[in-house]
């Protein structure tokens, strides 16, 4: 039996697609081995959101070849779509497979012929259940984006928005929960743009809520100007949807937002955050902030810091801008100096750390639900780790817990970005012990 390993770089969408690729290989008779172990095939599922991410993909390909020269190395994912001829080799790679053909790699390996382009836009076979190594499973609902923000290459690497049939999403979610996954994450390139015969993301949430199963549901990043207010209203009364919302901001300057091609103003963003906090108290709020976009002045950056200080965002991802060839912003003649970008990133990171710390501290003495992902140590002094529904890391000591269970604990401290709990008054909500 031939063996295959996978290396996934980038976003949750890539993670979901790798799980689907694993299923196609297992169906074709391959054994799956951990990345780094000797394997006949290695599939590198690459990212191209930045030029650095693309180079990282090629670095992994070269590293595999040095360690195992006989391994057949395949590069796919977004990194396969940036200017390089698909089907030809790159340093360290034996084959580059385009996005829409990634689920046909086992067929190519069997016939030694590059398969014809997928007529279905590159969707995974509907009957194959993805295979995940973590305690949570990721369900892809949509791919592609047509927003064309000036800094983003996703419309080039993933194409226009394509949505999966709603029935397939519901079926896959049901099967994943029944096979033992206690948390499902819905992901896509732009999930707010989901459309299936007039149905939207709200229809997905309603049908998944109606499943007679106990599990947690989580959303990946949700873009403004889609269905964000409806999601907030649904979250306010949902029994399954985690109280966490990731709404990318990118900049606190309306001038920069317009230059980026974003579809909202800071006023609209602020109003939505205020509405969310009114409807869902103690909501976990994440956001992306891109620092140093071309043309960003000291005043623009100051406006960003000021807005971040005012808003109750508690899970900030700060990125420094770097030119991405193939995007509109890469050709702009007014770049911010790299050293200035680095300084601004450090300022924003310091603020992000303060806000995360304040949010974590607010949970001390308050009941919070935790999905247990790992348990280590001897009984009765075991250490369990996991995540709250609001996306805060948690560590529970002195309890006999099982992975895949969701429990309520009362934290007594917040240290190094982690809630700590050792109170004996723990209630289990559900426990998944089914084999996968």
The total of other beta-carbon atoms located within 10 Å of residue 298's CB is: 10
**CA dihedral in degrees (293, 299, 304, 306; nearest 10)?**
170
Closest CA to 396 of 366, 378, 418: 418
Beta bridge partners of 236: none
Contact 288, 251 (CB under 8 A): no
- What pLDDT is stored for residue 112 in this prediction? 67
- What pLDDT is stored for residue 88 in this prediction? 47
pTM metric for this prediction? 0.92
CATH of 136-361 among 3.40.50.300, 3.30.230.70, 3.80.30.20, 2.40.110.10: 3.80.30.20
Q: Which CATH architecture has domain 3-111?
A: 3-Layer(aba) Sandwich (3.40)
Domain with CATH 3.80.30.20 in the chain: 136-361
Domain with CATH 3.40.50.12160 in the chain: 3-111
Q: Which CATH architecture has domain 368-431?
A: Beta Barrel (2.40)
Tell me how far apart the alpha carbons of residues 290 and 308 are, in angstroms, rounded to a whole number: 12
Q: What is the pLDDT along the chain (436 residues), one digit of tens a residue?
A: 699 999 999 999 999 999 999 999 999 999 999 999 999 999 999 999 988 898 899 899 999 999 999 999 999 999 888 865 444 457 788 889 988 889 999 988 887 666 566 665 666 676 688 989 888 999 999 999 999 999 999 999 999 999 999 999 999 999 999 999 999 999 999 999 999 999 999 999 999 999 999 999 999 999 999 999 999 999 999 999 999 999 999 999 999 999 999 999 999 999 999 999 999 999 999 999 999 999 999 999 999 999 999 999 999 999 999 999 889 999 999 999 999 999 999 999 999 999 999 999 999 999 999 999 999 987 777 899 999 999 999 999 977 788 998 999 999 999 999 999 986 555 666 666 543 3
Domain with CATH 2.40.50 in the chain: 368-431
Q: Given its phi and psi angles, is residue 87 left (phi above 0), alpha (psi -120 to 50 degrees) or beta? A: left
At 40-61, the pLDDT tens digits run 999 999 999 988 898 899 899 9
């Amino acid at each position: 039996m031939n063996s295959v390993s996978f290396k996934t770089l980038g976003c949750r969408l890539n993670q979901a697609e790798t799980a689907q690729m694993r299923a196609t290989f297992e169906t074709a008779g391959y054994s799956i081995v951990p990345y780094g172990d000797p394997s006949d095939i290695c599939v590198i599922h690459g990212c191209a959101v930045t030029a650095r991410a693309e180079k990282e993909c090629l670095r992994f390909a070269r590293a595999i070849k040095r360690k195992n020269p006989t391994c057949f190395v395949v590069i796919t994912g977004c990194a396969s779509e940036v200017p390089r001829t698909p089907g030809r080799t790159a340093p360290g790679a034996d084959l580059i497979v385009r996005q829409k053909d990634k689920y046909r790699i086992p067929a190519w390996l069997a016939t030694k012929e590059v398969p014809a382009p997928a007529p279905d836009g590159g969707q995974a076979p509907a009957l194959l259940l993805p295979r995940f190594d973590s305690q949570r499973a990721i369900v892809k609902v949509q791919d592609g984006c047509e927003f064309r923000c000036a800094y983003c290459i996703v419309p080039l690497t993933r194409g226009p928005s394509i949505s999966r049939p709603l029935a397939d999403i519901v079926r896959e979610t049901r099967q994943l929960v029944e096979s033992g996954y206690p948390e499902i994450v819905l992901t896509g390139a732009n999930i707010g743009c989901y459309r299936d015969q007039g149905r939207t993301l709200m229809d997905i949430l309603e049908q998944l809520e109606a499943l007679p199963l106990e599990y947690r549901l989580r959303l990946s990043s949700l873009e403004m100007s889609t269905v964000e207010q409806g999601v907030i209203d649904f979250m306010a009364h949902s029994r399954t949807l985690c109280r966490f919302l990731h709404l990318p901001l990118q900049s606190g300057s309306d001038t920069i937002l317009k230059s980026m091609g974003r579809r909202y103003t800071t006023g609209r963003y602020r109003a939505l955050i205020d509405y969310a906090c009114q409807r869902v108290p103690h909501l976990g709020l994440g956001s992306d902030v891109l620092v140093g976009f071309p043309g960003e002045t000291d005043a623009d950056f100051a406006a960003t810091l000021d807005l971040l200080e005012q808003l109750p965002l508690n899970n900030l991802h700060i990125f420094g801008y770097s030119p991405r060839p193939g995007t509109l912003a890469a050709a702009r003649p007014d770049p911010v100096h790299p050293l200035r970008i680095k300084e601004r990133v450090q300022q924003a990171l310091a603020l992000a750390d303060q806000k995360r710390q304040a949010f974590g501290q607010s949970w001390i003495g308050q009941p919070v639900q935790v999905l247990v992902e790992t348990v280590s140590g001897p009984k009765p002094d075991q250490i369990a780790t996991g995540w709250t529904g609001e996306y805060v890391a948690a560590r529970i000591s002195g309890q006999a817990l099982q992975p895949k269970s969701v429990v309520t604990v009362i934290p007594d401290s917040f240290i190094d970005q982690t809630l700590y709990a050792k109170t004996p008054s723990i209630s289990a909500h559900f426990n998944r012990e089914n084999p996968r």
